[in-house]
Amino acid sequence: MKNTDDLRRMREMYEAQAVPDGLSEAVESAIGDASVKRTRRAIVHLRRASAIAAAAVATFVLLLNTNPAFAAAMADTPVIGGICRVVTFAKYDRTEKFDHLRVRIPEIADTGDDALENRVNLEIRYQIENELKAARVRAEEYYEAFIATGGKPEEFVPMEIFVDYEIKTLTEETVSFVIYKEESLAAVYGQVFCYNVDLDTGRYLTLRDVLGDSYKQRVLDAIDRRIASDSELAMYVFDSEVDIPSLIDEDRMFYLKDDGKTAVVIFDKYEIAAGAAGRPEFEITIDE
């Protein structure tokens, strides 16, 4: 058995380790770099230090919430109408072994309805957390495949995982925003989430709510109009292979723009058209 004497000798040995000549230089250059960066930095990147320490980052989205420093990330808060706000709940830019995460997660605030906020915000976090988890598993699998096929670890480029949001409409009655998730591995993993909340009732709006009972026909008409006028899109649309009417139900993704005067229906990439068409969007004026 060893004892405190051994510890003391270990400590002596530890302290006797020579430090390299380059240390002072490294320290001074770091101090210099930091000062330059501080003045140059326009965007606040926040990384939660202890989340990095905890190697298991599976639940990191929720962990992020506990850091008061995130108050600083609330800096970009578009205020419109002074009623509801959509703010950045968490924002980080972080490179790990398999992936590079650039994430901005929104939340709604100041609606005056705590239950509504909690419900919507938790759902957003849950959804993004699941997406990120799946994406990170793919990144790791991709890394393993890369190595298994003779790739060198130092040549591996971490997979980009990107989450961001856009506010589309914010009025006293309605908030509409879209969350985008993209992965550099393949565009097919791109994902969109639309949130349209009626701030009076606290309900999510459906296409039927905004376009009336004839919503299906109105969306189909809009698609037809676009195809007739946009020859490029017409070329890519799978109009004979896909039963487009069956894809338009009440829960079809859409957002509201022009202060809620226009509904924009979105289809995922490859859903109704070739990938080259991107993520097709069709606008329908609400008050016809």
Partner 1 sequence: MTEELCDFIRENRESFYRLAYSYLKNRDDALDAVHDAIVTAIEKSATLRSAGAMRTWFYRILVNTCLMKLRRLGRETLCRWDIPDATADVTDAETLDLMRAVAALEPKYRTVIVLRFFEDMSLREIAEVTGARLSTVKTRLYRALELLQIEL
- Residues in contact with partner 1 by CB under 8 A are 1-4, 6-7, 9-20, 22-24, 26-27, 29-31, 33-35, 37-38, 41, 49-50, 52-55, 69, 95-97, 153
Q: CB-wise, 20 or 78, nearer to partner 1? A: 20
Selection from 208, 207, 210, 197 nearest residue 115 by Cα: 197
Query: Within its chain, how far is the Cα of 57 from the centroid?
Result: 17
Task: In angstroms, give the least distance from the CB of 99 to partner 1.
Answer: 11
Shortest distance, position 116 Cβ to partner 1, whole Å: 31
Question: Whose structure tokens read 């005067």?
Answer: 261
Give the nearer residue to partner 1 in terms of CB position, either 19 or 148.
19
Q: How far is the CB of 136 from partner 1 (least distance, A)?
A: 13
Question: CB of 71: closest distance to partner 1 in angstroms?
Answer: 10
- Nearest 10 degrees: Cα torsion 240, 256, 116, 163: 70
CA distances (Å), 90 to each of 41, 112, 122, 161, in order? 18, 21, 13, 15
Comparing CA positions, the residue from 194, 162, 167 lying closest to residue 87 is 167
SS3 category, 220: helix
At a CB cut-off of 8 Å and minimum separation 6, what does 31 contact?
Answer: none
Q: Closer to partner 1 at the Cβ: 70 or 165?
A: 70
Question: Between 23 and 42, whose beta carbon lies closer to partner 1?
Answer: 23
Minimum Å gap between C-beta 168 and partner 1 is 33
Q: Judged by CB, which is closer to partner 1: 51, or 273? A: 51
